[in-house]
Amino acid sequence: MAIGDDFLTINGFVNPAELERMVYSKLHDIGIHKEDYPIDPFKIIKDEGIILHEEKLKDENIRGMIVYGPNKTGILINANRSYASRRFIAMHELIHYWFHPKETQRVCFEEYKIVNKGIEWQANNAAAYALMPTKIVIELYDHFFGDIELMAEWLKVSTESLKYRINEIGLKPIENPFASKQISNRFDTYSDNDLRLLRLENNWLYGGI
């Protein structure tokens, strides 16, 4: 790692524990604390002075993009994605902005190959740490008695992403038969295409590596 313009720039391998620590340190430095959750990555982007644009892209394989200009930085998010997915993409692009070398542009696709836990792996996992911090996930797990759907609703993330995060932390997902019917019905309204995109999102985040 090297000192970047504003923070530490990751130029090589970093282990998950160190990456998680860096994310929490950065969030603390910009004034985000536990009481600010669930955080709003779109607001953070604007607070950083970055131009944010959401556009419905025909190619679903393109999730987002960060572009560095001589005077301004811009982030583009595929507006065809679900709200939870767009939040994750926004956070992913912020991680690039905070921790990775500022190339002219970086396009983030649905599918990619990871070699030695490279830049895209780092952005994925760091985004998950930022949106679902370990301590908050553990507290929500206790508060909601392990109800994944209620936890995901509170954190504004997908249930599948949260399940992976819970497993990563070492908690055991509990399927609560008394979960809110209203929240369960919300997922029943997803189209087949929405569900396919959610599956792709989770494979992109944690699977197939």
Give the model confidence (pLDDT) of 115-133 as tens digits. 445 888 899 999 999 999 9
**From CA 95, how far away is CA 154, in angstroms rounded?**
22
The residues spanned by each domain of the chain are 2-206
User: How many Cβ atoms are within 10 Å of 160's Cβ, its own excluded?
Assistant: 19
Nearest-angstrom CA–CA distance, 197 and 57? 14
What pTM did the predictor assign?
0.78
End-to-end CA distance of the chain: 24
pLDDT tens for each residue of 71-98: 999 999 999 999 999 999 999 999 999 9
Q: How far is CA 35 from CA 31, 49, 184, 207, in A?
A: 11, 23, 27, 31
